[in-house]
Chains A and B, each alone.
Chain A
Amino acid sequence: MSPDGAIDVAVDRVALGAARTARRARSGKRLLVHASLIAAIALIAFPLYYAFVISTQSLTEVTSVPPRLTPSWHLWENYLTAWSRAKLGRLLFNSFVMAVGIAVGKITISILSAFAIVYFDFRGKQVVFWMIFVTLMLPVPVRIMSTYEVISTLGWIDSYQGLTVPLMASATATFLFRQFYQTVPDSLAEAAQLDGAGPMRFLWSFLLPLSWANVAALFVILFIYGWNEYLWPLMVTNSEEMRTVVVGIEKLVPRGGGEIPEWNVIMAAAMMALLPPVAVILLMQRWFVQGLIESEK
């Protein structure tokens, strides 16, 4: 064996050793990253776990000191009590109508106006564009009192159109579709015209099939927005029948002394109110992340 060979082997060994140490250090670091992430996730998930646990306990268990952190056997009765006491079936239905109504309405209205702005030249286009833009600066809290006036003038208090139609104008959704249409090559429209397709035909059979990803992403975002909207349903509904679930829950929380707060029932209602939007995020995660990021561009 030549001395060179021996040196080579020695060098290899040293290199191998160094690589092994580096790998070990790296895997140690990785383990640390995993551990801290899992700890953070546990911390973030704890309030939800705690709410769930409370929703399965009896009132004595809820009020026991020290607090009990394990589920108990009263899930069914608590959820039934919450369901009948807060008329949750009706409230969930209202929330569903509001969320889907706003999402579908906003998307439809925005597609139509973005299509007009991108594919047509018309007098007053700039005015329309700026009008849509200005709505960004007029969120619900900025027009509290006078909005109520408008809705009651129209006789829309306690109605589904009152819950949905006024929230259907949206600058962000219109701008999203406008931006998307601008990236569609002009040749597509020209080809459609050569095929003898009119504008509506073009929108329906050429443009829409291309926009499904945008539509799905936006739908998820708007569904969650509509489901969780609080101030609007609080303002435009008076009867308990027309409340949405997010607003209805507040009525279960007792104010001041007197009644014993049934936290197990409140938490059961909270679980049922948060389940649909959270499920939508989890099931449609891909669309959700895309929608989140694109609708803010």
Chain B
Amino acid sequence: MKRSVFRNRGLPYLLVLPQVVVTLVFFFWPAFGSLRLALYRSSPFGDRLMFTGLDNFTRLLGSGDYLESVLNSFVFASAVTFGGLAASLGLAVLANQKIRGLALYRTALLWPYGIAPAVAGIIWLFIFHPSYGILPFVLSAVASIQFNWLLKGWIAMLMIVTAAVWKQLGYNIAFFLAGLQAIPTSVLEAAQVDGADPVRRFWRVVFPLLSPITFFLFVLNMVFSFFETFGLVHAVTQGGPGHATEILVYKAYNDGFVNQQLGTSAAQSVILMVVVIGLTMLQFRYAEKKVTY
């Protein structure tokens, strides 16, 4: 800890004031608002709120639609996280071979991170377009498969997963590459001298050394797919077909803004809050581990 070197009574308060004001007004006030609103329910005419206690929560947990969106969120998040991490680890290992042009390759793998999830989704929406898209065309020509996301929920899910993985690829690769380059060459050489073949060397030596980064990226990709993919669903599938791609954040928005069920929406926000707290705790367990390394 640094010694505090300046003495001044008022100045430090003035310095933290902007951050404290923004935090109080735009984070704490609405968060408490959500907590409070979750205990109320709009009256049938929507003109006033009635206190209903935990009723919103029990209704949510008993509602098929809500449980379906819980399931959708988990399917989506796991597919994005595991699919994305596997692909980017593979690519990072490839790019980390001692070859020329690493910087160039890294750049060429990195740029999709700049694309907004919604824009990435719109590009993939056309690739998956049932009548004009290239993917259904190729699939129908090669395997005569009807590939229409408007009719099959799992295809719609596959579409948003692909868009999300594509967008996140560069981010994951940047971290894996940084991790791979931090592994001392002496460790790898020792393994090589011991006669371990490249595949064993990877699983026995490299992968365990990468595990803190992998864990960290796991949490980060979960957070990304739970909380930062709203635009993707809103711009591309709008939760459809049916409820097949309705993830938790989208449902919370839709119930609140579109269907005007404030209490239900707020209760969903509170449940999401619990999810973020859980994920943040996980992330900090990683941070603690890293300190003891």
Residues of A within 8 A of B (CB): 30, 33-34, 36-37, 40-41, 44-45, 47-48, 50-51, 54, 62-63, 65-67, 69, 108-110, 112-113, 115-122, 125, 128, 131-132, 134-150, 165-169, 174, 181-182, 186, 189-190, 193, 199-200, 202, 224, 227-228, 230-231, 234-235, 246-247, 249-250, 253, 255, 263, 266-267, 270, 273-274, 277-282, 285, 288-289, 292-293, 296
What is the interface of chain A mostly: helix, strand, loop, or mixed? helix
Min CB–CB distance B225 → chain A (angstroms) = 12
Residue B132 at the A interface, CB < 8 A? yes
Listed A/B pairs (6) with beta-carbon separation below 8 Å: A108-B18, A138-B28, A144-B265, A146-B269, A181-B2, A267-B123
Task: Write out the residue numbers on chain A whose beta carbons fall within 8 Å of the beta carbon of B127.
Answer: 47, 50
Task: Write out the residue numbers on chain B whose beta carbons fall within 8 Å of the beta carbon of A33.
Answer: 94, 97, 99
User: Which of B50-58, B62-70, B101-109 is near enough to bind chain A?
Assistant: B101-109
Residues B276 and A274 in contact, CB atoms below 8 Å apart: no
Min CB–CB distance A40 → chain B (angstroms) = 6
Provide the bound-state CA to CA distance between A109 and B20, in Å: 10
Residue B153 at the A interface, CB < 8 A? no
Provide the bound-state CA to CA distance between A134 and B273, in Å: 11
Residues B114 and A231 in contact, CB atoms below 8 Å apart: no
Min CB–CB distance B37 → chain A (angstroms) = 6
Provide the bound-state CA to CA distance between A190 and B262, in Å: 55
Partner of A109, one of B19, B91, B111, B252: B19
Residues B132 and A263 in contact, CB atoms below 8 Å apart: yes
Task: Write out the residue numbers on chain B whose beta carbons fall within 8 Å of the beta carbon of A122.
Answer: 12-13
Partner of A150, one of B29, B101, B107: B29
Residue B256 at the A interface, CB < 8 A? yes
Not counting A199-B6, A249-B122, A263-B129, a sample of 10 additional A-B residue pairs whose C-beta atoms are within 8 angstroms of each other reads: A33-B99, A50-B127, A63-B132, A115-B15, A118-B2, A141-B252, A169-B22, A169-B26, A277-B114, A292-B175
Provide the bound-state CA to CA distance between A292 and B114, in Å: 12
Task: Write out the residue numbers on chain B whose beta carbons fall within 8 Å of the beta carbon of A181.
Answer: 2
Provide the bound-state CA to CA distance between A33 and B4, in Å: 53
Task: Write out the residue numbers on chain A whose beta carbons fall within 8 Å of the beta carbon of B175.
Answer: 292-293, 296
Residue B205 at the A interface, CB < 8 A? no
Task: Write out the residue numbers on chain A whose beta carbons fall within 8 Å of the beta carbon of B112.
Answer: 44, 48
Which residues of chain B from 164 to 183 have any CB-CB distance to chain A below 8 Å in the complex?
A: 166, 169, 171, 174-175, 178
Task: Write out the residue numbers on chain A whose beta carbons fall within 8 Å of the beta carbon of B33.
Answer: 143, 145-147, 149-150
Min CB–CB distance B107 → chain A (angstroms) = 6
Task: Write out the residue numbers on chain A whose beta carbons fall within 8 Å of the beta carbon of B207.
Answer: none
Residues B257 and A139 in contact, CB atoms below 8 Å apart: no
Partner of A119, one of B5, B27, B277: B5
Question: Which residue from chain B places its CB closest to the CB of A66 in the assembled complex?
Answer: B137
Which residues of chain B from 122 to 169 have any CB-CB distance to chain A below 8 Å in the complex?
A: 122-127, 129, 131-134, 137, 141, 166, 169
Provide the bound-state CA to CA distance between A284 and B167, in Å: 19
What is the interface of chain B mostly: helix, strand, loop, or mixed? helix
Provide the bound-state CA to CA distance between A33 and B98, in Å: 10
Residues B30 and A147 in contact, CB atoms below 8 Å apart: yes
Partner of B114, one of A142, A149, A224, A249: A224
Provide the bound-state CA to CA distance between A196 and B249, in Å: 54
Known: A122-B13, A277-B116. A186 touches B122 (CB 8 A): no
Task: Write out the residue numbers on chain A whose beta carbons fall within 8 Å of the beta carbon of B3.
Answer: 186
Residues A146 and B95 in contact, CB atoms below 8 Å apart: no
Known: A281-B113, A293-B178. A36 touches B6 (CB 8 A): no
Task: Write out the residue numbers on chain B whose beta carbons fall within 8 Å of the beta carbon of A249.
Answer: 118-119, 122, 235
Residue B230 at the A interface, CB < 8 A? yes
Min CB–CB distance B215 → chain A (angstroms) = 13
Residue B218 at the A interface, CB < 8 A? no
Provide the bound-state CA to CA distance between A202 and B5, in Å: 11
